[in-house]
Amino acid sequence: MTPVVTPIEMAEIDAAAPESLEELVERAGRAVARAAIDLLGGAYGRTVNVLVGKGNNGADGRVAARHLERRGVRVRLIDAAMRPPILARCDLVVDAAYGTGFRGEWIAPDVGDALVLAVDVPSGLDALTGAAGPGVLAADRTVTFQALKPGLLLRRGPELSGSIEVADIGLDVSGATQHLVGPADVAAWWPRRRIDAHKWNAAVKIIAGSAEMPGAAVLCSSAAARAGASLVSVSSPGTRMPGVLGAGAMGPGVMAPGYDVATPPEVVQRHVAATDFATDALVDIHRFGSLVIGPGLGRDDAVLMSARACIADATVPLVIDGDGLFASAWSSEGAAPLLRSRELATVLTPHDGEFANLTGAAPGPDRVASLRATADDFDTTILLKGATTLVASPRAHDDDRTDLAGPVWFVDHGDQRLATAGTGDVLAGIIGALLAAGLDPGRAAAAAAWVHAEAGHRCLRHGLVAGDLVERLPYVVEDLA
């Protein structure tokens, strides 16, 4: 995993380094010079403008300028405080004006059609939150040192940073509690079915769907099965699930009357009443590895009451999605007492609006801090959906150290193709399958988010529907192996 550290954490890591500041600046500057030559495709005949400020970021830029000149590049050093409104024409601008400690608004000069290489972060980008004013210069590439910064991955960070290179300058970031998830991480975490496995080893129970939204249960159960669940059982309160009848009076493959969406024939359907369904829905819960509750369930009072009873009484790891999140917060006491009462792993999957309903406020400018505080308050793992999805687990407690910060995972693999109805139901099913297979809740949520995004990448850029993701899941998982 690639470490992600805050500006304050990075300053502490710098201060703890055995090397001198001058040595660290020299290493950083050399890394910037190498990236500049790579971006230019060579040094011969190239002209580079280097914007430098007064701090360490500017010092990195000055060292890079020296190394570029040694390679034969024509270099112009430009004081960021005295910058002209338009820079002289060049092949590349190195933005070393301001780094992670900058506060205020930066108005970059006009650089024409030159390539831009940012040092550590684009000047003016908030390295913690990803906020940026309109004057920040968008980079084609950013060279950051030893670890990513949250602001490169959040809000305007991805748009302004271009491709990101993490340069190793010899600092110790082994204590980082935040990480960016990549394919190698997911491949290492993904559970493999044992040679002596049977269908109850990783079975998933799903309580989802309604007469108005039967498709939510179909998508969630299909995704769980395709992601590796050994058996999937679904209950949709008050309605028979849409399905294809097997051989019988109507013949094989004939649609059940009144329904027009087919569940996979492999999914077991357990019918439960529209209200007061908790006892029936959980009667065999001990046989399952996880429970997913909420997608398309509806918000009638009686449904919400039964959903809350299921959340409280489920004796297996739990994924709460969609209307299950609404049910969790459906109390004058809020969601925390219900969620804290659970003794087994729980994963919540809100978007910003659902997060606000759960907590009373939308995530703050520092999304990670908001998410961590809520994960600790609820004592649950939370997957916060967004352009960059965040997963936070609650802080740990042990006999030697208390209040250890819980881990946070960043998943930046998705894109706008996933912004369509039903994709969240698919994600919930994948998480359920991973929990049933025994993966810890934080990694289950982070791995599911990455695989969900990768399935999206394997779909057409236009016209994706959630069911397309389900069809591609087995191929994504197969490639992980």
**How many CA atoms lie less than 13 Å away from 401 in the CB half-sphere?**
6
- Average pLDDT score over residue span 181-193: 95
**pLDDT at 256 exceeding the cut of 70:** no
Looking at the structure, tell me whether residues 339 and 295 fall in a common domain: yes
pTM: predicted TM-score of the whole model, two decimal places: 0.92
pLDDT at 162 over 50: yes
Confirm if 69 and 75 have CB atoms less than 8 A apart: yes
Answer with the one of 176, 202, 217 that is the final residue of a domain: 176
> In this structure, are 169 and 187 located in the same domain?
no
Q: Which two tokens stand for residue 282?
A: 């959980």
Strand order in the sheet with 163-167: 74-79, 47-52, 92-96, 115-119, 141-145, 163-167
Smallest Cα–Cα separation from 204: which of 236, 235, 229? 229
CB atoms under 10 Å from CB of 472, counted, come to 17
* pLDDT computed for residue 386 by the predictor: 95
Provide the phi-psi class of 397: left if phi over 0, else alpha when psi is between -120 and 50, else beta. Answer: beta
Q: Is residue 347 within 8 Å of residue 381, measured between CB atoms?
A: yes
Distance CA 387, CA 336 (A): 26
Query: In terms of domains, do 165 and 196 share one?
Result: no
- Residue 102: per-residue pLDDT: 85
The enclosing domain of 434 has a CATH number of 3.40.1190.20
The whole-number pLDDT of residue 292 equals 98
Q: Are residues 101 and 240 in the same domain?
A: no
**What CATH number corresponds to the domain at position 149?**
3.40.50.10260
- Residue 103, pLDDT > 90, answer no
Range of the domain at 218: 183-480
pLDDT at 401: 54
8 A C-beta contact, residue 310 and residue 293: yes
Closest by alpha carbon to 62, among 44, 80, 45, 40?
80
Residues 96 and 27 grouped into a single domain: yes
Query: What is the pLDDT averaged over residues 378-404?
Result: 85
- pLDDT for the residue numbered 140: 98
Please name the amino acid found at residue 368. V
Same domain for 410 and 316: yes
Task: Report the pLDDT value the prediction gives residue 248, as an integer from 0 to 100.
Answer: 33
3-state class (DSSP) for residue 153: helix
Asked if 326 and 210 sit in the same domain, the reply is yes
- Final residue of a structural domain among 132, 155, 176: 176
For residues 38 and 163, give the distance between their C-alpha atoms in angstroms, rounded to a whole number.
Answer: 13
Of the residues 176, 203, 233, the one at which a domain ends? 176
Q: Are both 323 and 377 inside the same structural domain? A: yes
Same domain, 235 and 362: yes
Q: For tokens 């352009």, what's the residue?
A: 387
Residues 52 and 140 in one domain: yes
* 172 and 215 share one domain: no
Question: Is the predicted pLDDT of residue 98 greater than 80, yes or no?
Answer: yes
Residue 123 pLDDT grade (very low, low, confident, very high; cuts 50, 70, 90): very high
pLDDT reported for residue 194? 85
What average pLDDT does range 407-423 have in this prediction? Answer: 95
Out of 1-5, 402-406, 418-422, 440-444, pick the least confident. Answer: 402-406
Q: DSSP H helical segments within 124-282, as ranges?
A: 150-153, 157-161, 183-189, 214-226, 278-281
Q: What is the DSSP letter of 262?
A: P
Structural domain count, the chain: 2
Same domain, 344 and 206: yes
pLDDT band at 402, cuts 50/70/90?
A: low
Residue 412, C-beta contacts closer than 8 angstroms, at least 6 positions apart? 153, 158, 180, 387, 388, 389
